[in-house]
């Protein structure tokens, strides 16, 4: 059985394994069609409306290509391992909630989308008689071949390779374009560690620099940061009101997560909670926000009207701390009438964000030199990626509502 999918980024994608096709058809994977890959970034980049489903298919395609190239170089990968690593990358984002990371910081507590992905994989595995045993071991980094996990999650994995390509394509930000095909051709394995042949070093450097550029120009763009904080504050306020007993419109599944305190242990031990979570998508939040715009709570209604009418937060960002500016702004800022002291943080607040291009202390990107030796990419002669470039860059921000 084979299926051909026309992907706007890579052209025609071939899905050859029945097991992968069956997994794509699973309702929990199909749910990803209804969750935008870049959350609410389309408020800044109107074309960024692609989904987690698009990304999962693209990453699976890149994984299949990487495996085929490694096979040609004599790297031992069994059919079972090839299938398992494709299943792992297809399901790596299955635990994402609506609007990407916003739900993780507001409606549920102490559990990441990676944790939920792992739990969902275990549930599917149990339902299908152990079909994901290898995939789960690779995903959890417990499989004997370490490089297979690196293909799924590392500083040069198929996840990052696809989202840079795809997000660049849909936002129109050309700085994110990478030579993914060249990198895939140059992949190799040395001592069970994923590496890149020396001929591919410039493509890898471009990959790292493109990631840095995409973070500043797209993912951490100040207006994107502001609109993401707005949706986080809307959900935080709704949760606060729900726990006080206020009546809020919500779909049945969303209502459950609003009115209950749900933690990591609840996801792990209660299958009903997992199944409720897997009915949530962007439309649950969007529909509620439309209704909440007329809610009697002034904070919630103001925030919802802001996002509906694109009256977004204004963001000041700097490499220097903004403590003095914030204190001055607090003195003169005109809060909406009727806003109490404990509610002011919804309209004027501060924080910081960090861009980590390449972590030289993490799972290193190594280059296989012509003499067979391995070098960290930062140690290669005349490399663009030096230790200075790899240092995290921290920026501080002040966010205020303009009403």
The 10s digit of each residue's pLDDT in 18-47 is 999 999 999 999 999 999 999 999 999 999
DSSP character at residue 335: P
Residue 196 to residue 307: CA distance in whole angstroms: 44
pLDDT of residue 300: 98
pLDDT of residue 400: 97
pLDDT tens by residue, 127-155: 999 999 999 999 999 999 999 999 999 99
pLDDT of residue 360: 65
Q: Is the pLDDT of residue 101 over 80?
A: no
Rounded percentage of the chain residues whose pLDDT exceeds 70: 97
**Are the CB atoms for 46 and 63 separated by under 8 Å?**
no
Tell me whether residue 164 is exposed, middle or buried, using C-beta atoms within 10 angstroms of its C-beta: 0 to 12, 13 to 18, 19 or more. Answer: buried
pLDDT of residue 135: 98
**Are the CB atoms for 113 and 96 separated by under 8 Å?**
yes
pLDDT bin (cut points 50, 70, 90) of residue 104 is confident
Q: Is the pLDDT of residue 372 over 70?
A: yes
Q: Is the pLDDT of residue 105 over 80?
A: no
Report the chain's terminal Cα–Cα distance, integer Å. 57
pLDDT bin (cut points 50, 70, 90) of residue 382 is low
**Are the CB atoms for 306 and 346 separated by under 8 Å?**
no
Domains 3-221+364-379 and 223-353 are alike in CATH topology: no
**Are the CB atoms for 293 and 308 separated by under 8 Å?**
yes
pLDDT of residue 163: 96
Nearest alpha-carbon partner for 70 in 196, 200, 162: 196
The 3-state DSSP composition of the chain as helix, strand, coil percent (nearest 5) reads 55, 15, 35
- More reliable by pLDDT, 279 or 110: 279
Name all contacts of 240-248 with Cβ < 8 Å and 24+ positions apart.
Answer: 241/297, 241/300, 246/297, 248/288, 248/292, 248/295
CA of 101: how far to CAs of 113, 134, 203, 281, 287, in Å? 8, 27, 30, 12, 18
User: If DSSP codes are grouped into helix, strand and coil, which group holds residue 258?
Assistant: helix
Other CB atoms within a 10 A radius of the CB of residue 332 amount to 6
Reported as type and span, the H/E element at residue 164 is helix 158-171
Average pLDDT rounded to a whole number, residues 305-323 = 96
Average pLDDT rounded to a whole number, residues 273-301 = 96
The CATH fold assigned to 3-221+364-379 is Hypothetical protein af1432 (1.10.3210)
pLDDT of residue 379: 82
Bridge-based pairing state of the strands 193-197 and 366-368: parallel
**Are the CB atoms for 64 and 57 separated by under 8 Å?**
no
pLDDT of residue 376: 87
Q: Is the pLDDT of residue 364 over 90?
A: no
- More reliable by pLDDT, 102 or 236: 236
pLDDT bin (cut points 50, 70, 90) of residue 343 is very high
Q: How many residues does the chain have?
A: 403
pLDDT of residue 15: 94
pLDDT of residue 363: 76
User: For the chain, what is the mean pLDDT?
Assistant: 93
Cα 206 to chain centroid, rounded: 21
Q: Is the pLDDT of residue 248 over 90?
A: yes
**Are the CB atoms for 367 and 377 separated by under 8 Å?**
yes
Nearest alpha-carbon partner for 41 in 162, 236, 234, 221: 221
pLDDT of residue 387: 66
Cα 24 to chain centroid, rounded: 19
Average pLDDT rounded to a whole number, residues 339-365 = 87
Q: What is the CATH number of domain 223-353?
A: 1.20.1250.30
Backbone angles phi, psi at 367, to 5 degrees: -110, 130
pLDDT of residue 388: 67
pLDDT bin (cut points 50, 70, 90) of residue 359 is confident
> What are the structural domain ranges in the chain?
3-221+364-379, 223-353
Average pLDDT rounded to a whole number, residues 194-219 = 92
pLDDT of residue 319: 93
What are the tokens at 280? 């949530």
């Amino acid at each position: 059985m084979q299926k051909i999918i026309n992907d706007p980024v890579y052209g025609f994608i071939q899905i050859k394994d029945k097991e992968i096709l069956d997994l794509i058809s699973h309702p929990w994977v199909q749910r990803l069609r209804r969750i935008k890959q870049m959350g609410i970034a389309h408020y800044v980049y109107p074309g960024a409306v692609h989904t987690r489903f698009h990304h999962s298919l693209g990453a699976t395609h890149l994984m299949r290509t990487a495996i085929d190239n490694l096979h040609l170089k004599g790297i031992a990968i069994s059919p079972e391992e090839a299938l398992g690593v494709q299943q792992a990358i297809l399901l790596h984002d299955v635990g994402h909630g609506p609007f990407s990371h916003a739900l993780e910081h507001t409606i549920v507590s102490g559990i990441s989308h990676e944790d939920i992905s792992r739990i969902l994989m275990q549930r599917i595995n149990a339902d299908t008689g152990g079909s994901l045993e290898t995939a789960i071991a690779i995903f959890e980094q417990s499989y004997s071949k370490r490089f297979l996990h690196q293909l799924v999650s590392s500083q040069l994995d198929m996840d990052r390779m696809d989202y840079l390509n795809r997000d660049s394509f849909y936002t129109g930000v050309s700085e994110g374009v990478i030579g993914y095909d060249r990198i895939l051709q140059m992949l190799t394995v040395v001592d069970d560690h994923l590496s890149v042949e020396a001929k591919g070093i410039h493509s890898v450097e471009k990959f790292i620099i493109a990631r840095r550029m995409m973070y500043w120009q797209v993912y951490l763009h100040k207006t994107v940061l502001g609109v993401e904080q707005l949706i986080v504050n809307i959900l935080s306020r709704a949760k606060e009101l729900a726990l006080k007993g206020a009546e809020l419109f919500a779909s049945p599944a969303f209502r459950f997560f609003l009115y209950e305190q749900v933690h990591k242990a609840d996801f792990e031990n209660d299958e009903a909670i997992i199944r409720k979570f897997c009915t949530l998508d962007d439309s649950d939040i969007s529909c509620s926000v439309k209704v909440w715009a007329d809610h009697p709570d002034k904070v919630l209604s103001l925030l919802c009207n802001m996002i509906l009418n694109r009256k977004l937060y204004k963001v000041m960002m700097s490499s220097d701390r903004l403590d003095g500016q914030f204190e001055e702004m607090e003195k003169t800022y005109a809060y909406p009438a009727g806003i109490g002291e404990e509610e002011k943080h919804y309209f004027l607040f501060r924080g910081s964000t960090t861009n980590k291009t390449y972590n030289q202390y993490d799972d290193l990107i190594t280059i296989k030199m012509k003499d067979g030796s391995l070098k960290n990419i930062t140690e290669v002669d005349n490399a663009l990626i030096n230790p200075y470039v790899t240092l995290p860059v921290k920026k501080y921000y002040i966010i205020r509502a303009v009403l």
